[in-house]
Structure 1
Amino acid sequence: MLVSIIVPTKQRPQALFDAVQSVFRSTYQNFELFVVDQSPDNASLQITAPFHTDPRFHYLFNRRPGFGAASSRNVGIAASQGEIIALIDDDIEVRPDWLEQIVAEFSADPELDFIAGRLTAPPYDPDTGYTPEFEAWPYLSRWRFPLHASGANFSMRRRLLDRIGGYDEFCGPGSRLRASDDTDLCWRIVRSGARYKICPHIEVVHTHGFRSRDEAEALFARYQYGNGGNFGRFTRRGDLFAGAWFLAREVKLTFKAIPKALRGDRRELFFARQRLRGFWDGFRLSPDEGFVSGAQLRQMRDAARAAEVLLVARAEGNAND
């Protein structure tokens, strides 16, 4: 079973090297790896030079202004060929048996379409900052908010993305809605009725994920804004349950935050405002613009493969000359 691993990156050369190296150290070796780089320089390309001669390693650039990691993930998915697609971030390291466990789960259940794995953090001092970590929530369902799942460790069958579409390119780091491309995809997956599984034994480590306190607070604010943006997008595209669920929850959370704000703790009220602001901004965006459907993803894949065939033909022509 060929696994296509997609790694979007931007200006994290050493972290990227460690992530790629951890994949190549896996106990399972039937994979292809696509780095999709948004950096304005070539530092990440240069540091990954030791892997360039391996035919499983592919390096692409994605320098579309105004688009972030979600766009790069779609580019990598379209260029890849594996039946299984595994998504990781550029600041993590995978466990040696990570790929082996993914393949075992999909092989054991032909109907399984999606796996949410675990993101752990190395030891750090919580008094000085924060490293994001996620224990995939076992109660994900079509009627619950799938927050506790991390896109730093998603894997899925290609057929699922053909059916529900790829990443929403207005969501996630570097995009208009700043965060939560993983929440967007996870919500669409569970709402589609696809078979999924929570697998905490499929683990990646957030090796380079530490943030200072100020950086962590800014990250939390982006999470809140992006999550609100997700539900604005869902509602605008016709998922009225998503909008009703979100707004009902926000009324409840806002009422809980008001007494804390009166006592001087305005953090929760600030986050509530961020979510509502994100919801409104997401709702105002065009429902189709930025969203990559399954058909569009297949068109991108066909175009990528046609370009590859053209490059091979040119190379062969030059060799004959």
Structure 2
Amino acid sequence: MLVSIVIPTKQRPQPLRDAVQSVFRSVYQNFELFVVDQSPDDTSALMLEPFWHDPRFHYLLNRRPGFGAASSRNLGIAASRGDIIALIDDDVEVQPDWLAQIVAEFSADPELDFIAGKLTAPPYDPDSGYTPAFEAWPYLSRWHFPLHASGANFSMRRRLFDRVGGYDEFCGPGSRLRASDDTDLCWRVVRSGARYKICPHIEVVHTHGFRSHAEAETLFARYQYGNGGNFGRFTRRGDLFAGAWFLAREVKRILSTLPETLRGDRRELFYAGQRLRGFWDGFRLPPHEGFVSGEQLRRLHADARAAEVPLAIALRSSSA
């Protein structure tokens, strides 16, 4: 079973190298790896020079202004050949059995379409900052699953994109809605009825994910805004249940935090404001612009395979 691994990146050369190196150390070796780079220079590309000789390694440039990681993920998916596609972030390292466990799960269940794995934080001092993690609790409810899964460790069958479409390029880091391309995809997976599974034994480590408290607060605010933007997008595209569920949840959360707010702790109220502002901004965006349908992704895939151009040609040309 060929697994296609996609890593979007921007200006993180050393963490990226560690991520790529961890993939090549995997027990399971039938894979191809696509790094999709949005960096404005060749620093990351040159850091990956030791991997150029391996035919499984591919390097793509993505310098579309105003588009972020979701755009890079779609590009990597379109260029890949595997029936199984695994996506990780550029600041994680995969466990040696990560690929083997993914293949085992998909092999055991032909109906399984989507896996959310575990994102583990390495040891750190919580007094000095925070490292995001996802514990991958198998019994998380289907409605709360999209809000808690981490796109740093997703894998899916290619056929899933025919059912739910690709990544929404207005969502995620570097996009108009700043974050939560993973929430967007997970919600559409749940709503489609596709079979998914939360697998805590499929693990990646957030090796380079540590942030100071100030940086973590900024990240949390971005998550809240992006999550709201997701549901605004869903509602505008006609999923009225998504809008009703989100707004009812917000009313409940705001009422539950009133005592804290009256005591002067306005943190949760601030986050609620971010989510509601994101919802409105997402709702106002053109509903289908930025959204890559399954049909569009198939056309991109066919074009990429028909081109038969070495995918690392941009790197080699820039280094010539």
What is the CA–CA distance in structure 2 between the aligned matches of 1:148 and 1:89, rounded to whole Å? 16
**2:70 matches 1:70:** yes
What is the CA–CA distance in structure 1 between the aligned matches of 2:225 and 2:303, rounded to whole Å? 34
- In 1, are the aligned partners of 2:95 and 2:204 still within 8 Å (CA)? yes
Residue matched to 2:23: 23
Residue matched to 1:212: 212
Describe how 1:1-321 pairs up with structure 2 within 5 A. Answer: 1-144=1-144, 146-308=146-308
Structure 1 residue 304: deviation in Å?
Answer: 1.2
RMSD: 1.2
| Alpha-carbon displacement from aligned partner over 1:152-194 (angstroms, at most 9, x marks no partner) | 0000000001221000000000000000000100110011101
Structure 1 residue 142: deviation in Å?
Answer: 4.8
Give the unaligned 5+ runs of structure 1. Answer: 313-321
Structure 1 residue 140: deviation in Å?
Answer: 4.6
Structure 1 residue 11: deviation in Å?
Answer: 0.2
- In 2, are the aligned partners of 1:168 and 1:291 still within 8 Å (CA)? yes
What is the CA–CA distance in structure 2 between the aligned matches of 1:271 and 1:215, rounded to whole Å? 15
Higher mean C-alpha displacement, 4-13 vs 138-147: 138-147
What is the CA–CA distance in structure 1 between the aligned matches of 2:110 and 2:88, rounded to whole Å? 23
| Alpha-carbon displacement from aligned partner over 1:261-319 (angstroms, at most 9, x marks no partner) | 2211110000000000000000001110000000000111111122226x79xxxxxxx
Residue matched to 1:319: none
What is the CA–CA distance in structure 2 between the aligned matches of 1:118 and 1:28, rounded to whole Å? 18
What is the CA–CA distance in structure 1 between the aligned matches of 2:106 and 2:190, rounded to whole Å? 17
TM-score, normalising length: structure 1:
0.95
- In 1, are the aligned partners of 2:138 and 2:200 still within 8 Å (CA)? no
What is the CA–CA distance in structure 2 between the aligned matches of 1:293 and 1:136, rounded to whole Å? 28
Amino acid corresponding to residue 100 of structure 1 in structure 2: A
- In 1, are the aligned partners of 2:257 and 2:268 still within 8 Å (CA)? yes
Give the unaligned 5+ runs of structure 2. Answer: 312-320
Partner-residue secondary structure (3-state), 2:27: coil
TM-score, normalising length: structure 2:
0.95
What is the CA–CA distance in structure 2 between the aligned matches of 1:87 and 1:140, rounded to whole Å? 21
- In 1, are the aligned partners of 2:145 and 2:186 still within 8 Å (CA)? no
What is the CA–CA distance in structure 1 between the aligned matches of 2:228 and 2:139, rounded to whole Å? 21
What is the CA–CA distance in structure 2 between the aligned matches of 1:214 and 1:97, rounded to whole Å? 35
Q: Count residues in correspondence.
A: 311
**Aligned residues with identical type, % of pairs:** 84
What is the CA–CA distance in structure 2 between the aligned matches of 1:72 and 1:236, rounded to whole Å? 24
- In 1, are the aligned partners of 2:137 and 2:200 still within 8 Å (CA)? no
